[in-house]
Structure 1
Amino acid sequence: MFNFILNTLQFLKLIISLFFKNLFSLICPCKKNFAGEIVLITGSGNGIGRQIALKFAPLEATLVLWDVDDKNNEETSKLAKKYGAKRVFTYHCDCSNREQVYEQADKVRKEVGDVTILINNAGILPGKKFLDTADADFEKTLNVNFFSQVWTLKAFLPAMIAANRGHLVNTASAAGLWGTYRAADYSASKAAIIEMMESLDSELHHTGKCGIKTTIICPYFINTKLARGFKSQTCLLPVYEPDYVASKIVDAIRKEKFYLIMPLTVYLFAFKIFTPRKILLFIESWLKIPDSMEKAYGQKKKD
């Protein structure tokens, strides 16, 4: 009994200590210096990926840009150099192709060095209803959005573990926290990312690899090609511009945040497990999420 009380008091002491440490980090966050870092960005040819590259450009980091769109990826490289980047390397890579990821990862290690900040950003959003999504399309969404991140993590994490140093940045979505109308495949892929990264972060922590940081990005819709003209019908869930989101992502990496959830109203999604399903469906209707999805994707021709 005495040992139980003692262990409980020690546990409470640790929890209180961690609480105040976290509170202090929010008030006075540490700020990572990016000089000398090797930053690899997937899906860098346009949208958020390009904007992240441009935000890193003046920060003295080496940029490694991966995309299937060589023309736009080269344009990102030119812009990054214009913005101050000294070393920029571009590679053609279909991140949903495991063999191609591993092949290009070997080239990066030989030609550039070990990646120290991995930013998984590539993704697709078909926007079809569940039964309208062909089996092959469902698999494609999971391959591009989820398995691509599995392959890049497996390719670059071993070197980070050996050095006990690095940063894993994985783009998920608010849809991974709240299954979104007309996006079953997309929501599933993003939820898988969140749970995988929470599990991986746990592994790294409990095996003493605390020098490797994790950041999970969970934004609502962003005004990119992925959104294809999506317009929110409520100010509670604004559609952000890529430049703004990229700034927040780089800031989250600098401050070593575990989650970047935006807008703040998305935090309310976490309470879904305590809320009756009918109320959640009413909230969806009140926020006009189904209407927004229908207007953005429902009127478009089927692929």
Structure 2
Amino acid sequence: MNFILNTFRFIGLTVYYMLESLVFYIVPKRKKNVSGEIVLITGAGSGIGRLLSLKFARLGATLVLWDINEEGLKETSRLARENGGARVHSYICDCSKKQDIYRVADEVKKEVGDVSILVNNAGVVTGKMILDCPDSLIEKTMEVNTMAHFWTYKAFLPAMLASNHGHLVSIASIAGLMGFSRCSDYSASKFAAVGFAESIDCEMRDLQKTGVKTTIVCPCLINTGM
């Protein structure tokens, strides 16, 4: 019964978002001008993070790229410069470690400036049944996919609030809207990421910080690595 309900829910959400996309295709929203904005992207060394980096480079943003993979980060930086990125800064950062996030965040603020668009994209997935998943991997999944969002927000949100200008982007997942087999830790972490981002949006409204925007992205199947 749960499988049937989840299937109908998945179909319903898919239809809803397809219709929403169709409406926005016919009547496009006004696009945000990101030229000159300082954009920080975690997990920029590959996959969605790399693609976002190249897109922001073409749009004239100042890029701050984080990843734990040094080689991947170098390649993304090179590609970003080839795609028009005049200001590209890269930092090795382990998003599973709070102190590393705070340390690198301080470096960014000193060397580049206040981040105005924060994209929490870094993510890990185990793809194991719950009893086959080591405790250490479950902890890392929660640290990277959820807790890192707390620490990056605490590091960069104060400057956004002070200027009433900024954008907080959470790359979550369809698994943050419904559960899947072999994704118990991943799905839990993405549910948490969605709930966290929605709560921050409510806090911005309570604080009347209308210039600080939030966006939650829930991709379905993708053909990039993690």
Deviation at 1:196, TM superposition (A): 0.6
Alignment of 1:1-303 (within 5 A): 27-226=27-226
**CA–CA distance in 2 between the matches of 1:137 and 1:145?**
12
User: What percent identity do the matched residue pairs reach?
Assistant: 55
Amino acid in the other structure paired with 2:207: T
Deviation at 1:123, TM superposition (A): 0.4
**CA–CA distance in 1 between the matches of 2:112 and 2:63?**
9
**CA–CA distance in 2 between the matches of 1:202 and 1:64?**
27
Question: Can you give the 5+ residue segments of structure 2 that lack an aligned partner in the other structure?
Answer: 1-22
- Secondary structure of the structure 2 residue equivalent to 1:224: coil
Deviation digits for residues 35-70 of structure 1, max 9, x if unmatched? Answer: 110000000001110111011112111000000111
Deviation at 1:95, TM superposition (A): 1.0
- Secondary structure of the structure 1 residue equivalent to 2:118: strand
**CA–CA distance in 2 between the matches of 1:52 and 1:161?**
24
- Secondary structure of the structure 2 residue equivalent to 1:156: helix
Answer with 1 or 2: which has the greater Rg: 1
Deviation at 1:111, TM superposition (A): 0.5
Deviation at 1:134, TM superposition (A): 1.7
Deviation at 1:213, TM superposition (A): 0.6
TM-score, structure 1 normalization: 0.65
TM-score, structure 2 normalization: 0.87
- Secondary structure of the structure 2 residue equivalent to 1:219: coil
Deviation digits for residues 66-111 of structure 1, max 9, x if unmatched? Answer: 0011111011111100010100000000011111111110110110
Instruction: List 4+ stretches of structure 1 deviating above 6 A.
Output: none
**CA–CA distance in 2 between the matches of 1:92 and 1:129?**
31
Deviation at 1:124, TM superposition (A): 0.7
- Secondary structure of the structure 2 residue equivalent to 1:167: strand
Distance 1:137 1:28, change over 3 A: closer
Question: Can you give the 5+ residue segments of structure 1 that lack an aligned partner in the other structure?
Answer: 1-22, 227-303
Deviation at 1:220, TM superposition (A): 0.9
Amino acid in the other structure paired with 1:180: F
**CA–CA distance in 1 between the matches of 2:28 and 2:61?**
24
Distance 1:49 1:28, change over 3 A: closer
- Secondary structure of the structure 1 residue equivalent to 2:178: coil
Give the structure 2 partner of residue 288 of structure 1.
none
Deviation digits for residues 88-144 of structure 1, max 9, x if unmatched? Answer: 000000011111111110110110000000011100110000111122211111011
**CA–CA distance in 2 between the matches of 1:136 and 1:72?**
24
Number of residues of Structure 1 aligned to a counterpart in Structure 2: 203
- Give me the CA root mean square deviation: 1.4
